[in-house]
Chains A and B, each alone.
Chain A
Amino acid sequence: MTGALSAAVSIGFHGLAFAMVLYLISVGLSVTMGLMGFVNLAHGVFAMLGGYVMTSLMNGWGVPFALALAAAALAGAAASIPLERLLYRRFYGGEELDQVLLTMGLIFMSVAGATHLWGPLTQHMQPPGWLSGHFDLGGRSFPAYRSFLIVCGAVLVTALWLGLERTRFGAQVRAAVDNLRMAQSVGINTSRLFMLTFALGSGLAGLGGGLGADLLAISPSYALQYLVYFIIVVAVGGLGSIRGPFVAALLIGVADTAFKYLLPELGAFFIYALTMALLLWRPQGLFGRA
C-alpha cells in the first residue's frame, strides 16, 4: 500500500513539474493568440532560444544559474520585438493559413540557425549545486530541481495573475482581449500593447525554455518537436487567458504522466484522445470565449 501511495506521490510530483514547464512556455502563446488573433506556431522558437542562451552561458562561460536564467528571458523578449514589428503585425487578425505558413517558415529557419550556431547535438544543463540532488520531506526523497520548477511555476502564475488583475497594463490587456475596437476607442495604444505583450510572452517562453532545459531537451528541432504540446495546452486552455493554460497544463502534464504510468502501452493515445474530447466539448477551450 505504501508502495502504491509512494508511486502516486512521485507521479503527481513529476507530472506537476512537467506541467509547470509547459505552462511557463505556453502562457505567452495563449495571451498573444487571444490578444492579436495570431496563430504563432513559432512560439517554441523563443523557448528554444532561451534554452540555448542559458546552456551556452552556463556551460561555455560559467555564468551563474540565476543570471543565465535572466539572460534567457531577456533573449526571448528581445528577439520577439523585431519579429513583431517587422513581420507579425502585418498578419494580425488575418488569414490563418498565412500565419501558419509564416510561422512554419520561421521554425525551419530556427532549426537551421540552431544547427549552424550550436551544432546538432542536445545541449545539457547541469543545475547548480544548491539545486541538485534530492531533499527529504516526510520520509520521501524529492529531486531538488523539479521541486524548484514547481515553486517557480506557482510563483509565476501568481505574479501573472496579480499583474493582470492589479496593474494598469494588465487592465489594458484584458480590455483589448475582450474588445479590441472598444479598447482602441478608449485611447489604449493597442499597437504598443501588442508589442509589449508579445515581448512579455516571449520572455516567459525563454524563461520556460531555460528552466525546463532539463525536461524538454534543447536541440535544434526543439520548436518542431514540442510544438504539439504547446498548442494543445493553449487550445485546451482557451486563448487570451492566464488561468486557461494553467489548468490545461496541469491537466495535460499530470494526466499524461499518470496515464503513461498506469497504461504505458496506450501512452501515446491518451493525450490525443483527451484533447480531442475536450475540444469537441468546448472548441473555444476551457476558459476561452465562445
Chain B
Amino acid sequence: MTPADAILTRAIEQLSHGDTLGAEATLLGGLVDMPTESRFYLVHGVAAREAGRLPDGFTGFWRALAADPNLAGARAALLDTVVTRETPTERDFSLNSGERQFADTVAAIRADHRARYALAARWLRHHIDSPRLRVGLDVFCGNGYGSRMIADLAGARMMGLDGSAEAVAQATTKFGSHRVVYGHSVFPFTLAPKLFDFATCFESIEHVDDPAELLHQLSVATNGPFIVSVPLETGLPFAVNRDLFKHHVRHFTLSEMQNLLAKTGRVIAGEWGQVVYKKNRDRVSGFVPEHEMGIRPLDADSQFLIVVACMRMPPFESAKP
C-alpha cells in the first residue's frame, strides 16, 4: 500500500463512521506532502459535501480535476453536486434529433450559434471581475462547443448540462478539459443553490413546457448574470412555422421575456437581436448567409433575442456587447 493509499483508506474509514471533520483533517495533512494527489481533493470534496458544505465540495472536485484532468470520479461528483433531482421524460434528446449542432470543432458550428456564445464571452470578459476565477453553468449545452468557447474566450471554468447522453459524451471527448466539464441531466431538474457565478442558456427555453421553472432554476444556480436567447414571436411567428420547429413549445415576445425574468428578480441589462432565416412573408424559407447571422441591435426584423439578465443593473452601457 502506498502512503497515499494509506491516507485515503484512513480518510474513507473515518467518513464511513461519520467523522467528516477527521477525514478532512487526514486528507489536508496528506496534501501537505502530496499536493498533486487528485484523490485527496476528490475525497475531501465528498467529505465537505457530506458535512453540508456544498461550495467547499464543489471547489474540491475542481481542484481534483486540476491535479488530474482525467479523474472521471471528479466529473461525476460535480454533476451529483450540481443537479439534485431530475425527472424522467419521453422527449427525443438524441444528438441527431434535428435541433442540435453536432460538429466536433468550434469552427464547424453554424455561425449564429457561435455568435451567441462569442457575445456572452465578450460580455463576461468586460463586466465580471477576473473571469478566470469564475465558474459558469451552460444549461442545455448540446455537444459542448459553446461552453468551450466561453472558457477559451473569457477564461472562465464551465459546466455544461444537457439531456442527451450522446451529446455529453461528444462534448467531454471533443471539448472537455479540467476546466470544462459536462454532465448528462434531463430537465425538469433541480439545481443546487448558488454554486455558479453566471449562467448561459441559448435556444433552450422555447423547448420546455415550463419556461418559468427553467429560468427559476437558473436563478437558483447563480446570483450572477445569466445570458439567454429565445426565438422571437415577432420575427419568427410560431403558428406559421410550427412544423419547422417541431421541438419548440412556443416562441416569445420581448415583453414576455421581461415578465419571465422579472419573476426571477432580474432586469434586462443588455439586449441584442439576430437574423438567421430568410422569410417569405412570415414563413421561413431558408438560411441567410452565415456572414449575416451576427449579433445586431434588437429591432423589428430580429428573429432571435439575446439578453443579459442581472439582479440589478450593473454600471455599464447595456447596448455594447
The finding on whether chains A and B are genuine partners in a shared complex, rather than unrelated, reads: no
